[in-house]
Structure 1
């Protein structure tokens, strides 16, 4: 029996990644910390929008990136409905496009910027107009015909659907990008090509026949009366099994629900229900709504039968789901559907959430079906398939596998069949495949085409040959020089569940022929309910392995031969397709997750938090030195151009603490114009940070980027330090869960990496009583979730071997296998389980050199194994709160991560509250000197510490959202005291300041204020709506004595958003972008008169809002969408103080 094993990567290496890997083994130095290497610098996504591209803009963009400490750019060619503003747009792969692209590569080389590009037009996934229909993503389709036995059959079998779509005849609506609303008017969009219908494709796979279970005959005879809350519903359309007819069920005015009722003449034993929906005209795919199914004997008193869970995520939309349950005898049944509370599609496309449901089919049946078969067969996705088993069937209700007849050789090419039918009633099943219809988006029309078949090595290889040939040809000599990576963005290609060689691939990987079980893919039960579910588990796992092998790994190895690497958000957030998240991320050069920017007081979605954790785990367990993240993405609910570096800092710190060590900004859109009239300029519609050379603080961005680079430098060094390896399950789809928390729960103070079956099987051993991976990590404990009571025999054997060699494992007793492949070996599985867990109901059991625990919390296990927490903190002493509207109001107080750096330990710690505080922290470190490495300033300093109970204790002072690395490098005494810094106020500056404004932005040349206050409170509309940099000036006199005796700091108090200080004409080099807004001015001050200038930069929203005022005579801003309206709230801006000079001794 053949097992799937990973194949070694190609011999070619990407130099940049080698450099980072080498840096992991090098000693960290204060010098490199202060001036981080290129590998640590943040990258940006760089979107070319709708052909709005100029050579001058390219140079200006890249020179700005280089100037402000950005290390590289990742280019996309896209179209989000952005207007065209150039008379001659630059269209994908035209000579003009190639020339501009080559210019970008040359400029990147000149400026020492790393250049990358998406693996297709748009951002998802691997697709283009050169992909032929037969090379595109495929799905299983089928038709059925019932024939009577005891005679010869000659006739044509029904043609399975050729429809492009996710399931059978359910179609996929391909909507164009809607034009941006509220932006600057453009010119008429270039007519690139005539609209035409996409080609379809169909091919046969097998023709099977099986005896029709009698219960199926009974199901056909049912003819219930159907009524609905909406009298206009076409009830025939929802019960005719025709994908071309749709019944629209409308909600009554003021109601959030609607219902459909079935009435039978007599009580019947209903045991399955199918609901199929099609998207309304403004949607690309159908989202199943939440609802419930009820039963009643009299049509008045109703009892809930089951919940109808809606579609959980936008990326997993599929409009068909089958529910199976134990038989319920009743005369009346009722389906209630509820309006979607969170309509992501409406938010993203600017549509009104529909007040109706378009139903293709809603049918009750007395026949058994596979529960959630569409999801289990990889037509769709449901997050908790293991918790949705198919109910047990009785004898005679299921198809007998050994009686399935293969008639493939008897069907002619025209679909006619000749067959001598045995006695009985038979179902002839014609199985084939057609296209899912998915195309890349949001690409320009010239770059749009079918997504390539991700399960086919042949098709993916041809795709990569074609695409890389186009890109390398356009770039010329800089392909492999400045151009170093391709990028696969988050998966938005839907699901596929077939490819040409699916059956031989299944046989090779699973060891048995799936042909007799193919009726399971249509929802029918073969053998038994458990047998059918087990086959579907094997089927999904096979798809998951093929996706990893034939798409991600093949692409990486293909590119490695060209000395090109591959970034990959593989497979993206929210389990969008059938795969193993860790396995996919482990196949690319640089695994990548994503996190977004919430609005003030909001939190990022849990799907993205777990995706980042999964990305870091994949990097750790597969030995990838970089764990990158698409960073700070935003949607319309988060105001455009409305986030300062301080606003974003807490988000960056959270994700550093989750294991990310390279920031990739989403997004720095290409700015075609180089004048001041087109600011803030081009964007990826309303998505992203709009982090370009046109933001108000573009020239102050170096300090922010350097902070991120210093954090990345230390987090890219050394090795991850986690105590827990948490096995997250087998099969597919599988990912770090966001919809639930694993049990046993993770205790505070311990770090975790998640582990998959591939790494556990092929890379794990035991060294000195620890679970050791080939990639380097060592773990004190391996944890298997309480819900994973079924393990494959291969995994159980490995767990037993690890425990025998000395590992500590926390796991529930294994009671079976999820795989049909293991059915012949259940005796061995039970024997291993009995030896490993012994006979106790709960507790622990020694096995070989190790021990297995079950029924205990992890805290109890760690106490028993004498594993103390790595990091603990106590109640902070709050010194001062800082007023600022921040996201993630419910975030943890403190986040942290530990790296085993050369030659010691480095802990990154971030305060997640907007307050200054002193935080008592203890570390599982002794015998070393504690140092503070400050990523905001690049300075390194000693700190007081003491040793208590075998731990090092530090009282750490952190500012609002403050962060620092506590580093233990050198051996030292058990206790050390550093003199405490004392501060005294010298002068509190008066509040009357002169403020100067730059020209051409609607503000007066200069104003005088008697009191420091937000510009938005000023009576002058030019000041109130000002966006940009204004200069405050003030004079202060100091005595000779005041200028002596220690450092003198200028404290600015509150600042919105960024400040730069000049004293007596001497520019202080620090850019102040976060509290405390304090800078050392000792060398610039003098006895007598001193002239102080403070440049303060705010954000773009206020000027954009000002331009929307009905009485605005002139517009000073240019945007491609309407981010703000006249009544949008203004953003507090300016120097707010109090301002004072203080002495530090």
Structure 2
């Protein structure tokens, strides 16, 4: 067991301190205008299925450099990408290594940061060099019932399940998993245990009901045995429902249902079921509705019901259900209680609420004192044992392989995922893996060349065993695991309450081992190579038994993900907000100061394909920054090996497609500048938060807040804190919570704490005794077998029931902060608008980032908790800054902000002032010059459009009757002229001459009189052309770019000449087109 608890706390203290170094205002602004490589977005560079060329590598990387990208994360992936090169370069062949060496040396020469993934594919840590015994493991069991007579008996035990698959003997079929790995046979014994069977506990075979179905034959033996692969097909009726009717021949008590239903197509069915009961077989009453929401076998306790007949009705809940029936693997109606939602509680699967649903109290239990280890009496699969009188259950526990492979790797790079809780196997895995990259890069690794390794989101599935887990459990929890193994098979041990407490310990043990061995240990593994790491964890819901903050704590750059939701019309969703805030909280507390995110990922069918432009992406980017992101890692920039196929190949159906073949690739620098400038300022100083937001044990942030973020006032801010942070990292200073990295919190808020371990409760008491303000929920139930219920109740009473002034419950966060005397960090006069802020504190200044996250323009007054400093507005899209009117009142500074839809601005306080108020004159804009007519439009070649057209008036190109224009995608250059009198530039000349383009779809690169003026990429499409305007004739060229979408739709028209190439066809001929081109009205205005 690794001793790593102190490591994450100390790792990044120095880095955090350095980031807060004071900067004079001029240097701060210069670096903001021209942010360096550390702040620039990275991209995910996917090499797809051996489609690799050096020519493509050179063009990809030089485009990245020109476009202001700071580096790349390179992946080798498969996804059945078709071959588009003359010769594939399979993974790690000499030819592949040669190309990789070329890429790394070129990247080094260009100053691009290079990162490798932690495995071929994107998830997680696996490859063809992983031996069977080092693969991910699962606990399996077989049961045999015997009658003891007090004399020796011989029992041939059923063989342990050696089938490779995620649960018991269930094996994936027709899945995207290499068949060779599913054919492996692997089994090792753990223990053979004997236990008395409670009197009421009878199997389906003993109850022996007569069974009829809606179609198909099934037996009690098949429904009641341990096998998942032993199934029957139950045909559905015309309404799509299938049913199973069980006649028990006499009234039968039922307290739990265990069931497993899969589709005929042999995968887990999204299925609902309802159980009905009847005494006469004619009139049925619904007992309960059940839902198959996780795991390969569902165990649910139901309202205690006695009836002769029970009928289970199955209904598909899949969106596009075409099932004609269901594979029924198990259906066990039991007269005793089983562990409720067993698969979730045993860590065999992970469902959001599974661990919070309790197992009902029962007396039909197995006592640990009565569990007999009879392993030593087994030889060659035969148990010879003198069994005492009575009914005994013999359980043979062992372990096999889950069969999970790294994905989506090319075939040559696919192998077993390594055991995530075996430290030796993990070290061996990385020793082999990293050596291949030492060879491929010819040693260019560490300070130069390959500098980082990335752990992508965890998608390797559950693991429930490893070779030394019995010893690990004893060392960590302080008691023996073996007598409790029956609970992992659904049997209630000692009592329902104690079983639940044990299962908490079980999940915690697996989670702690994975955190320490798969994540924390990696820091030491990488050190000899000079590598640092990015780390994602869950990304969504609960991917494993770990806490996401703990997984990221020792990473050099904690990382998250944010997806696009274009078709749904959503800027973001709580799943991504919570993931980003988790990473940002880690960066604040442990001191990395950088929180990255896989950014703008999209499912082309669900979210939209080839529709993304900076204007579309910006609201989501701003939402990410509002949650704490300050380094973008753009998903994805696939390697384009050839030039004659555009937009080319990609990561299957996933985008966003940000590479050199993107229509706006040449204008991408304006977008990356915006991201880099924003990230630069969002890394200065220290994040300001008043609340440490604790989210409870035995879960993770993205599971807790998958569908709804915490209800938190938008006038304060907060960091998430994990159980380990509360116990091991936070200290108390004058009643406030502080960290070694300089964070300071005024309130500890407790959420999701109805269940709490005794160690956490003891820590809460310590904090309460030290004067920390504690608010939110209070615990009700003890989890874990450490401690007693009596101590738990006494501590709860002491903390919440003894009249402490610093401990409250049932009061909102805002009121708690106000009662504690904490002034709002910022307030907004438009209180109901969705306005977000981030506050960074410098040694001698304050930076506030304000984002209008609404579709409407907003004008409002913001009141900042700052005084004595002059505010300025700094604009990340242009790099410009400007003074602003302000008023200092009662120790605060008021600033009125007039923000367009989805706008964001920095309000920077760095210059001292004793002037309490400044009112600036409002600027007025009037017409300055008129465009001539008509407009000339030149079209990018080889895009299916004519070379040029003339337009008498501006409108969307999609309104054209010319098919090549209507379906055009790419660069359309609009040319026009205007005249300026000499006197207009002299006496009473405007302070600025602006080109207002009106509506643009989607970017515009402007040139005036041959001088590049800049790129405008979001509304309002206004650009300053003052420096380029001259007296007399002026020529304007406006290169307008729209995305690939319209041309892809055009290629689907009957008889169309194909322009685009992409392996997946996202659109049909009737897909609505997106507006395109310069729509206007275009005006030239003077500002005074």
Match of 1:186 in 2: none
Decide whether aligned partners of structure 1 residues 399 and 12 sit closer, same or farther in structure 2, where only a CA change above 3 A counts. Answer: closer
Normalised by the length of structure 1, the TM-score is: 0.90
Contact 1:227 1:235 in 2 (8 A): no
Decide whether aligned partners of structure 1 residues 302 and 983 sit closer, same or farther in structure 2, where only a CA change above 3 A counts. Answer: farther
1:468 and 2:410 aligned: no
1:440: how far off? 0.8
Match of 1:446 in 2: 412
1:489: how far off? 1.1
1:940: how far off? 2.1
The SS at the match of 1:588 is coil
1:147: how far off? 2.4
Match of 1:1061 among 988, 997, 1006: 1006
Contact 1:201 1:435 in 2 (8 A): yes
Contact 1:369 1:525 in 2 (8 A): yes
Match of 1:429 in 2: 395
Contact 1:147 1:426 in 2 (8 A): yes
Decide whether aligned partners of structure 1 residues 1077 and 540 sit closer, same or farther in structure 2, where only a CA change above 3 A counts. Answer: same
Contact 2:694 2:721 in 1 (8 A): yes
Q: What CA distance in whole angstroms lies between the structure 1 residues aligned with 2:625 and 2:701? A: 24
The SS at the match of 1:551 is helix
Contact 2:224 2:332 in 1 (8 A): no
1:1058-1137 matches, cutoff 5 A: 1058-1068=1003-1013, 1070-1112=1014-1056, 1114-1137=1057-1080
Contact 1:991 1:1012 in 2 (8 A): no
Match of 2:344 in 1: 375
Match of 1:305 among 267, 277, 287: 287
Q: What CA distance in whole angstroms lies between the structure 2 residues aligned with 1:563 and 1:614? A: 27
Contact 1:20 1:716 in 2 (8 A): no
Q: What CA distance in whole angstroms lies between the structure 2 residues aligned with 1:1097 and 1:1103? A: 13
Deviations 1:974-1028 (A, max 9, x none): 3222332222222343563111123322222221111111111112112112211
1:1032: how far off? 1.0
The SS at the match of 2:974 is strand
Match of 1:1037 in 2: 979
Decide whether aligned partners of structure 1 residues 758 and 209 sit closer, same or farther in structure 2, where only a CA change above 3 A counts. Answer: same
1:781 and 2:723 aligned: no
1:785-934 matches, cutoff 5 A: 785=751, 787-823=752-788, 826-839=789-802, 845-846=804-805, 851-875=806-830, 893-934=834-875
Decide whether aligned partners of structure 1 residues 892 and 132 sit closer, same or farther in structure 2, where only a CA change above 3 A counts. Answer: farther
Q: What CA distance in whole angstroms lies between the structure 2 residues aligned with 1:380 and 1:196? A: 21
Match of 2:199 in 1: 214
Deviations 1:947-975 (A, max 9, x none): 34543221112123211111222332332
Normalised by the length of structure 2, the TM-score is: 0.95
Match of 1:260 in 2: 244
Contact 2:11 2:554 in 1 (8 A): no
Contact 1:166 1:318 in 2 (8 A): no
1:357: how far off? 2.5
Match of 1:33 in 2: 32
Q: What CA distance in whole angstroms lies between the structure 1 residues aligned with 2:344 and 2:929? A: 69
Q: Please say which of residues 922-931 and 683-692 is displaced more in the overlay.
A: 922-931
Match of 1:710 in 2: 677
Deviations 1:879-908 (A, max 9, x none): xxxxxxxxxxxx973222222234322121
Q: What CA distance in whole angstroms lies between the structure 1 residues aligned with 2:1085 and 2:522? A: 59
Unaligned runs of 5+ in 2: none
1:821: how far off? 1.8
Match of 1:615 among 579, 583, 596: 583
1:984 and 2:926 aligned: yes
Contact 2:886 2:896 in 1 (8 A): yes
Q: Please say which of residues 1084-1093 and 590-599 is displaced more in the overlay.
A: 1084-1093
1:42: how far off? 0.3
Decide whether aligned partners of structure 1 residues 168 and 134 sit closer, same or farther in structure 2, where only a CA change above 3 A counts. Answer: same
Contact 2:164 2:171 in 1 (8 A): yes
Q: Please say which of residues 975-984 and 205-214 is displaced more in the overlay.
A: 975-984
Contact 2:73 2:116 in 1 (8 A): yes
Q: What CA distance in whole angstroms lies between the structure 2 residues aligned with 1:287 and 1:773? A: 47
Match of 1:638 in 2: 607
Decide whether aligned partners of structure 1 residues 587 and 492 sit closer, same or farther in structure 2, where only a CA change above 3 A counts. Answer: same
1:176-187 matches, cutoff 5 A: 176=176
Decide whether aligned partners of structure 1 residues 354 and 752 sit closer, same or farther in structure 2, where only a CA change above 3 A counts. Answer: farther
Contact 1:870 1:924 in 2 (8 A): yes
Deviations 1:673-723 (A, max 9, x none): 1x3x21111111110111100011101000000100011111122222111
1:1084: how far off? 1.8
1:8-157 matches, cutoff 5 A: 8=7, 22-27=18-23, 29-149=28-148, 150-157=150-157
Decide whether aligned partners of structure 1 residues 42 and 196 sit closer, same or farther in structure 2, where only a CA change above 3 A counts. Answer: closer
Q: What CA distance in whole angstroms lies between the structure 2 residues aligned with 1:532 and 1:121? A: 40
1:200-211 matches, cutoff 5 A: 200-211=185-196
1:293: how far off? 2.7
Q: What CA distance in whole angstroms lies between the structure 1 residues aligned with 2:699 and 2:54? A: 46
Match of 1:339 in 2: 316
The SS at the match of 1:821 is coil
1:89: how far off? 0.4
Contact 2:142 2:397 in 1 (8 A): yes
Q: What CA distance in whole angstroms lies between the structure 2 residues aligned with 1:507 and 1:433? A: 19
Q: What CA distance in whole angstroms lies between the structure 1 residues aligned with 2:3 and 2:808? A: 30
Decide whether aligned partners of structure 1 residues 909 and 280 sit closer, same or farther in structure 2, where only a CA change above 3 A counts. Answer: farther
Contact 1:908 1:966 in 2 (8 A): yes
1:381-400 matches, cutoff 5 A: 381-394=350-363, 397-400=364-367
Decide whether aligned partners of structure 1 residues 475 and 20 sit closer, same or farther in structure 2, where only a CA change above 3 A counts. Answer: farther
Contact 1:1033 1:1093 in 2 (8 A): yes
Q: What CA distance in whole angstroms lies between the structure 2 residues aligned with 1:1122 and 1:49? A: 18
Q: What CA distance in whole angstroms lies between the structure 2 residues aligned with 1:12 and 1:930? A: 35
The SS at the match of 1:696 is coil
1:66: how far off? 0.5
Match of 1:190 in 2: none
Contact 1:570 1:581 in 2 (8 A): yes
1:500-579 matches, cutoff 5 A: 500-579=467-546
1:250: how far off? 4.0
Q: Please say which of residues 627-636 and 749-758 is displaced more in the overlay.
A: 749-758
Unaligned runs of 5+ in 1: 178-192, 312-316, 344-351, 877-890
Contact 2:205 2:220 in 1 (8 A): no
Contact 1:4 1:509 in 2 (8 A): no
Q: What CA distance in whole angstroms lies between the structure 1 residues aligned with 2:217 and 2:1021? A: 64
Over aligned residue pairs, what C-alpha RMSD do you find?
2.5
1:372: how far off? 1.0
Q: What CA distance in whole angstroms lies between the structure 1 residues aligned with 2:66 and 2:2? A: 52
1:9: how far off? 6.0
Match of 1:971 among 906, 912, 917: 912
1:1144 and 2:1059 aligned: no
Q: What CA distance in whole angstroms lies between the structure 2 residues aligned with 1:1143 and 1:1091? A: 17
Match of 2:253 among 246, 269, 284: 269
Deviations 1:327-349 (A, max 9, x none): 21223333333322447xxxxxx
Match of 2:298 in 1: 321
Q: What CA distance in whole angstroms lies between the structure 2 residues aligned with 1:64 and 1:26? A: 35
Decide whether aligned partners of structure 1 residues 10 and 892 sit closer, same or farther in structure 2, where only a CA change above 3 A counts. Answer: closer
Contact 2:191 2:375 in 1 (8 A): yes
Decide whether aligned partners of structure 1 residues 19 and 747 sit closer, same or farther in structure 2, where only a CA change above 3 A counts. Answer: closer
The SS at the match of 2:823 is coil
Q: What CA distance in whole angstroms lies between the structure 1 residues aligned with 2:255 and 2:508? A: 28
1:590 and 2:557 aligned: yes
Contact 2:1007 2:1038 in 1 (8 A): yes
1:799: how far off? 1.3
